[in-house]
Structure 1
């Protein structure tokens, strides 16, 4: 059987670290001839402070997510990944990614960037990647470095 991955989930949030994670995910997906699930979680905690009638921020987040995911899907396909699945979900990324999405897609590898949160949030709640590592039941690759351009 060997060490191959069949379903790889990469979590993206628009940060440069997520971009690095995505590029590495594409390479690993191609090497393993796997499926790639690109996930973006709209962090609903950001909406908690917003008045109920002010939907514009939520709508903007959705529009941004749609745009972001289309670009990621196009990039993955252009790079030669045959099976790309896009997931946009709401909630807390550090719970949604390792618990819900990983189970839903039966992934065997989660790839994420090292940060994507500001220092204060990291101090209080730990980074998303830390939580993913803790809660995932499959392998996790935390990307800290830029993928060298060929």
Structure 2
């Protein structure tokens, strides 16, 4: 019996790695008839804590940019024949939101996430979201490193 995934979560952040994960997730969702593809963008609110002139306009601007990007992803998925696709924008620590909070809420059975774009020193100092998700997620995780032709 083949594993069937019904609720696929794809965190997207505008990176090349996230784009690869999105493309492969669309293909996986199409192969898993009736699967829901859910795109997630997490705005790391900790990034705003160090800004002395913090105001909500900054968060609103980041949110609007994320919405435009997610709308584009949704349209691409629809153009590729996928109907059951949605997105959400969450606020907080990306590591916890991606690995725990949203998968619990959506009953996610697969997270498809892009490989980290960090170099070795950055991973050592701040840690990789992808690495954290693979260690702590409550469901299966597929780390995407290649395009649809596996290159």
Same fold (TM over 0.5): yes
Distance 1:77 1:18, change over 3 A: same
Offset of 1:52 from its aligned partner?
A: 4.9
3-state SS of paired residue (2:108): coil
Given that residues 48 and 54 in structure 2 are in contact (C-alpha distance below 8 angstroms), is that contact kept between their aligned partners in structure 1?
A: no
After the TM superposition, which residues 67-146 of structure 1 pair with which residues of structure 2 at under 5 Å, given as runs? 67-117=68-118, 120-146=121-147
Measure, in 1, the Cα distance between the counterparts of 2:84 and 2:117. Answer: 26
RMSD over aligned Cα atoms: 1.8
Aligned residues: 149
Question: What TM-score results when the alignment is normalised by the length of structure 2?
Answer: 0.90
The match for 2:12 is 12
* CA offsets 1:55-106 (integer angstroms, 9 cap, x no match): 4432221111111110111111111111111110001111101111001000
Question: What TM-score results when the alignment is normalised by the length of structure 1?
Answer: 0.91
The match for 1:65 is 66
Structure 1 spans left out of the alignment, 5+ residues: none
Given that residues 18 and 116 in structure 1 are in contact (C-alpha distance below 8 angstroms), is that contact kept between their aligned partners in structure 2?
A: no
Given that residues 29 and 36 in structure 2 are in contact (C-alpha distance below 8 angstroms), is that contact kept between their aligned partners in structure 1?
A: yes
The match for 1:44 is 45
